[in-house]
A and B are shown apart, each in its own frame.
Chain A
């Protein structure tokens, strides 16, 4: 648990300060500090481990004012990852990871075991153990940096644009891995970024800050998107707020319609009735076992449904996909709906445009 209590920081040299910030980071959550450059987000983060000291107010970590704790001791208990990683060039990957355990005086065997464990945790091949940082790719360096920050199993991690220096594809992968890793390790994380999409994706809560270190809104990403506190937040969220909200909601949370479902052995009349009842001119064909076969335009059904060739849906969505993926499937389909299936392609229902609108209204 990290608490900022009326924290103000002023600099003489023009570095972005922080103005009367009160905010608490609950244990085990990822709080993303986001805002344009000069909003004091990095300054805020650095006050947690006393890299910067507040001009007034109190920063508490687990209830203790950080100013009463020895800085070196405090920092050894807090993981730290920055954009350019800052791996020590004269040390191998293993030695880099061993940094804080070494400072804490762990014995060699324990450090060695921990290094092996961490390499696996962050997905680094054991072969990189004895390489020097300049021999690694950008993504590997990033992973080594995270492993080093996790080494002494700190409860708290500070991350300043940790994925800023890698290309978009690697970044997407690292973000996904980070979220998966966080589910295992459940650290209290302060994450700094200028990228609102990254903030929405990574944060349990996001703190939107503006020039001069003012906190504009502090809430969950869904709440921020649903109810931006003011004009600044609206501007900062940018266009496509509806899409961003849909991206946060899993398909499982939306109520799927049963849809115009027919069996292969249904006849033309029944197909026409079902389509009409649903206001469509097509039907979904599902076999007796509940498996999705495809869709058929009613006018093509002459005798039985299975006389006509069922057409496959281009994209199917599953419970864990986002409603944004459902929207994508919907706009790319002739039927104008997204079809939800479970593993093994068992039909679960359809998601219509109305379903999506209902979710974000």
Chain B
């Protein structure tokens, strides 16, 4: 409210909102936000899922991996990006943002995939082996499909968390909708702030609802279960 009072601009500022340059900027910011989120979650899953498969097969790996991803998750996000720029020398750019974003998805994706795979009944594994599935077939056709509801639940949390985190990467030159916040703060302008807020909430809701639908479609067998 203090911000609104100081700006002296109208709210909502229709002139700013309808300016084609700003519309284009919002569109780009939204697209970048989606892109960073999708890439981060997909890359995160590609790293975490094989680690979870390994951890379930070789029990000894489980605790170290959980601890490691857990420690990564506890690093404050701003500190992590600063650290990446300062020491990893990846510069102000998409790579740095993605590295950070991916790191935050790992704990949830690893844990949920592992829990999902662990949730496959011993009898189900035994009968799959006894029917003549090879280990690889058993993983792809039996264990991962059965773990899917739990994995997708993890993807939902990771996605929504990442949508929030992407805004922070505005500070290192990325940020998607976060850039609208930056603009808003720099120019003491509340309209871009409100647009950034509304669009990022909208994106989070769409993503979450979409993933729930995807899960229902992919796992019709789990619907009737509690």
The chain A residues found within 8 Å of chain B, CB to CB, are 49, 51, 71-76, 78, 80, 82-92, 99-100, 103, 132, 134-135, 148, 158
Contacts and interface: CB of A to CB of B under 8 A. Distances in A.
B224 A88 contact: no
B219 interface: yes
Given A86-B121, A87-B127, A89-B121, 12 more contacts: A72-B132, A73-B132, A82-B126, A85-B123, A89-B146, A90-B142, A90-B222, A99-B131, A100-B131, A100-B132, A132-B221, A134-B221
B5 interface: no
Contacts of A71: 132
Contact of B132 (A86, A90, A92, A103): A103
A85 B127 contact: yes
Contacts of B142: 88, 90
Interface string B120-137: 010111111111111001
B121 A84 contact: yes
A71 B128 CA distance: 13
A49 B137 CA distance: 18
A361 to B, nearest CB: 45
B6 to A, nearest CB: 58
A72 B134 contact: yes
Contacts of B129: 51, 75
A223 B189 CA distance: 96
B152 to A, nearest CB: 13
Contacts of A72: 132-134
The majority secondary structure among interface residues of chain B is: helix
Contacts of A135: 224
Given A72-B133, A88-B142, A103-B132, A80 B127 contact: yes
B146 A75 contact: no
A99 B124 CA distance: 13
B133 A90 contact: no
Contacts of A88: 124, 127-128, 142, 146
Nearest to B127: A86
A99 B131 CA distance: 8
A49 B130 contact: yes
Given A82-B123, A84-B121, A86-B127, A91 B132 contact: no
B224 A90 contact: no
B205 to A, nearest CB: 28
Given A72-B134, A73-B132, A103-B131, A90 B126 contact: no
Task: Give 7 closest A-B pairs by Cβ, nearest first.
Answer: A86-B127, A76-B132, A86-B123, A80-B130, A75-B132, A84-B123, A132-B221
B217 to A, nearest CB: 13
A75 B130 contact: yes
29 contacts: A49-B130, A51-B126, A51-B129, A71-B132, A72-B134, A74-B132, A78-B130, A80-B127, A80-B131, A84-B121, A84-B123, A86-B125, A86-B127, A86-B128, A88-B124, A88-B142, A89-B121, A89-B146, A89-B221, A89-B222, A90-B146, A90-B148, A90-B221, A92-B221, A99-B131, A103-B131, A103-B132, A132-B221, A132-B224
